[in-house]
Amino acid sequence: MISINCPTCGKRPLSEFHYGEILSVPDTITDDEAIDLDRAFMYNNTEGVKYEAWFHAYGCRRWVRLHRDTRTDEVIDIDSV
């Protein structure tokens, strides 16, 4: 099970956090409904070490930024915001 070591609350299960990725929509998509659909569901899913923002919704309600390897789910570094 993946856990995040929150700087405020300590080690907590991933289920307490919400992940937020702000997606960029390709310029070729111009229809407003298609833009909303792409922004909501088309994640980048990059492989390797990624800088992410997680919101501790069921804890301190603060944002936590971390470097995570998406291949192994290993959390490499954590920053509080």
- pLDDT category of residue 80 using cuts at 50, 70 and 90: low
Helix residue spans in the chain (DSSP H): 32-41
Query: Hey, what amino acid is at 18?
Result: H
Neighbour-count burial of 56, counting CB atoms closer than 10 A to its CB (0-12 exposed, 13-18 middle, 19+ buried): buried
pLDDT at 16: 95
Higher pLDDT, 75 or 1: 75
- From the list 47, 45, 51, the residue with the least C-alpha distance to 63 is 51
CATH number at residue 69: 3.30.2270.10
* DSSP, res 14: G
What pLDDT sits at residue 22?
59
pLDDT at residue number 15: 93
Q: Contact at 8 Å (CB) between 44 and 58?
A: no
- State the sign of the Cα–Cα–Cα–Cα dihedral 12, 73, 78, 24: negative
Residue-wise pLDDT tens digits, 2-57 = 889 999 999 999 999 998 765 677 788 888 888 777 767 776 667 888 888 899 99
What pLDDT score does 51 carry?
85
State if pTM tops 0.75.
no
- The total of structural domains in the chain comes to 1
Q: Which residue range forms the structural domain that includes residue 20?
A: 3-80
Calpha distance 60→55 (Å, rounded): 9
